[in-house]
Structure 1
Amino acid sequence: MDTAVNTKLPKCDYEQIIFGNEFAYRGAYFRELLNLNEIRQGGEFIPSECRPEFSTAIIIPYRHRKDQLEAFIVYIHNFMRQQQIHYRIFLVEQNDEKPFNRAKLLNIGAVHAIKEKFPCLIFHDVDLFPMNVGNLYVCTAQPRHMPVYIDKYHFNVVYKDYFGGCVAMRTETFQIINGMSNLFFGWGGEDDNCFDRVKSKGFKICRFGPNYSKYMMLPHKKEIPIVHLKALMENAAKQFHTDGLNSLNYTEKIVILQPFYTHIRVEL
């Protein structure tokens, strides 16, 4: 697949996108994928009218959320193409009967994105929808927590150190913190562990204001929680250097370049 950017094109102008900050959460972006021919096999988009400054991999951990996935894929492609950045969507599906391991799936997606030389990784839950186009899907110098204000919580901050739902992180930063823990089978704790990893390496969390950090969340049934979460959190906190990207193991069943995303199916 040819992913080269045309260097003869003028640079994309992001000032108007950021300051215009178009409201995107509306019916037109949900109903159908607009201008399908712009999206390359595997869910990749490269602006054709200008030269993008940013290149981002969107990594989605997934299992058993078909309706949400279909809605998200339509919306996110319509949303992101307004931002004039180069991006590709990686869907990592857990294809076994073990409890869902969100963090391990994100590590797997990161490995694939790193192979494709993406400098920016965005780890994105399938039930979260950004509301304003000025919320550029790019990485800042420090790791960025993106859904600061969510409708489910009445657009209030969930808690001070909340680092879940959607996070943007430079690839080199994710490698420095050794990715996420592979130990969290079940719901809860992995995002707090990631927050601690980030802090342990001297990084600070970046958050934008409410005009750029509002999200809508689709309803879904709760995942099965981890029974001994406190003990797991304490154990995982001691293993930042040995548990993560450098200890990642899984069985890759298949990688398919679907029309609108790269589908990575794995067993953990």
Structure 2
Amino acid sequence: MRKLRKIKLLATYGFFFVIFIISINKLQNDFAQNYTKENFIYKFDKSYTKNGHRLAIVVPYRDRLEELNMFVPHMSKFLLSKNLDFKIFIVNQIDSYRFNRATLINIGFALSKLENFDYLAMHDIDLLPLNQAINYSYPSPSEVLHLTPSGIHPRYNYPTFIGGILLISHILYQQVNGMSNRYWGWGLEDDEFYIRLKEKNIKVLNPQNITTGKKTFLHNHDKNARPRDMRMSSKQYEISKKRDHLTGLNNLPGLYTVVSRETLYVDKYPYEMIEVVLYCDEYKTPWCKSSS
């Protein structure tokens, strides 16, 4: 009798042990499928993302590691809270020419288009949204949304300003031929892009019912530690104030080489670091050189 009870007890323990092992294996498999390094943060049901659109956060970048380490986790948490399908593209200029923000954004657009993103945020790395009412959702196929207009941007304050953060569909960005590639150094490329939008009768919308004013975004910029390269020759200034009908997405091929692409992480939040070398026609735009 005792032997029979012992056999039954061992059989029961054996049964539950097998069930335990099977459960552990299932959990391990589920973890491997759902939480691999590549999608640890971004694994969620895409059916819940707004309108099924895909947002490319395109950040022109050079030597801003401290800002990058703040930007990636802050923006990831903010956008994930909105159930947006997004990816952060850090387009890093590693050559010796002066910084060319517009060409880097053009490159980010071209690469994100290959991955089936359908709208982009042209996004400065030193601007972080603080107000939850700021909306990064797909703007419109016929309009653009400027998230940092005059009165909201912490620094700039003129009516035609469209810098900082601008949401635009891939369709519209293609229609206006992207941004001009001739702007080396800091400034004026946004003003020229504004003209491109106006020529196509594309309306620029601003956020509505935002009451936080210039405190809507954190401007993570130390002007002493990060001085702007704003020097400009008279010839550069003269050309930069004119509408550029020659350059943009149309002449982007051949203007750059992608040296490397790597998925990196800040506090487990992923971004893609894209290192690029730009090429300059020093006869047409000699101000691209650091010494010019």
TM range (shorter): 0.7 to 0.9
Distance in 2 of aligned mates of 1:147 and 1:73: 19
Correspondence for 1:48 among 36, 45, 49: 45
1:40–1:104 distance in 2 versus 1, CA, 3 Å: farther
Name the amino acid aligned to 1:45. Answer: Y
CA drift of 1:41 comes to: 2.7
Q: Which has the higher helix share?
A: 2
Q: What is the CA distance between 1:46 and its match in structure 2?
A: 5.5
Is 1:247 the counterpart of 2:257? The answer is no
Counterparts of 1:40 and 1:212, CA distance in 2 = 37
Tell me, in whole angstroms, the C-alpha distance in 2 between the residues paired with 1:178 and 1:203: 13
Contact kept, 8 Å, 2:192 with 2:244, in 1: the verdict is no
- Answering whether residue 273 of structure 2 is matched by residue 263 of structure 1, we say yes
Alignment of 1:28-177 (within 5 A): 41=38, 45=42, 47-48=44-45, 50-52=47-49, 53=51, 54-141=53-140, 142-148=143-149, 149-150=151-152, 152-153=154-155, 158-177=157-176
Instruction: Name the counterpart of 1:225.
Output: 230
Q: Percent identity of the aligned residues?
A: 28
Contact 1:42 1:88 in 2 (8 A): no
**RMSD, aligned α-carbons:** 2.3
Counterpart check, 1:216 vs 2:223: no
Alignment partners' CA distance in 2, 1:127 and 1:38: 30
1:77–1:185 Cα change, 3 Å:
same
SS of 1:261's partner is: strand
Q: Which runs of 5+ in 1 are unaligned?
A: 1-36
Contact preservation (8 Å) 1:46, 1:87:
no
- Specify every segment of 5 or more residues in structure 2 that has no aligned partner in the other structure, as ranges: 1-33, 279-292
CA distance in 2, matches of 1:150, 1:267: 34
CA distance in 1, matches of 2:55, 2:36: 15
Does the 8 A contact of 2:192 with 2:241 survive in 1?
no
Pairwise CA distance, 1:152: 3.3
- How far is 1:43 from its partner? 9.4
Contact 1:119 1:170 survives alignment (8 Å): yes
Task: Describe the superposition over 1:57-90 as per-residue Cα deviations: whole angstroms up to 9, x where unpaired.
Answer: 1000100111011011111111111001111111
- Contact 1:47/1:86, CA 8 A, preserved across alignment: no
Q: TM-score, normalised by structure 2?
A: 0.71
Q: 1: CA distance between counterparts of 2:99 and 2:60?
A: 9
Q: What is the aligned length?
A: 226
Q: Which residue of 2 aligns with 1:180?
A: 179
The TM-score with structure 1 as length reference comes to 0.77
In structure 2, what is the equivalent of residue 202 of structure 1? Answer: 201
> Structure 1 residues 46 and 173, CA, compared in 2 at 3 Å: closer, same or farther?
farther
In structure 1, C-alpha distance between the alignment counterparts of 2:40 and 2:147, rounded to whole Å: 22
Letter in 2 for 1:244: G
Instruction: Specify the SS of the correspondent of 1:45.
Output: coil
Q: 1:38 to 1:105 in 2, by over 3 A?
A: farther
Query: Quick one: distance in 1 between partners of 2:40 and 2:194?
Result: 29
Asked if structure 2 preserves the Cα contact closer than 8 Å seen for 1:43 and 1:262, the reply is no
> Structure 1's 238 and 123: CA in aligned 2 closer, same or farther, altered over 3 A?
closer
CA distance in 2, matches of 1:72, 1:90: 12
Alignment check: 8 A CA contact 1:151 1:216 kept = no
8 Å contact kept, 1:185–1:226 = no
Q: Are the equivalent residues in 2 in contact too, given 1:80–1:133 (CA < 8 A)?
A: no
Give the letter aligned to residue 264 of structure 1.
I
Relative contact order (alpha carbons < 8 A, sep ≥ 6): 1 or 2 greater?
1
Q: What displacement does 1:51 show?
A: 2.2
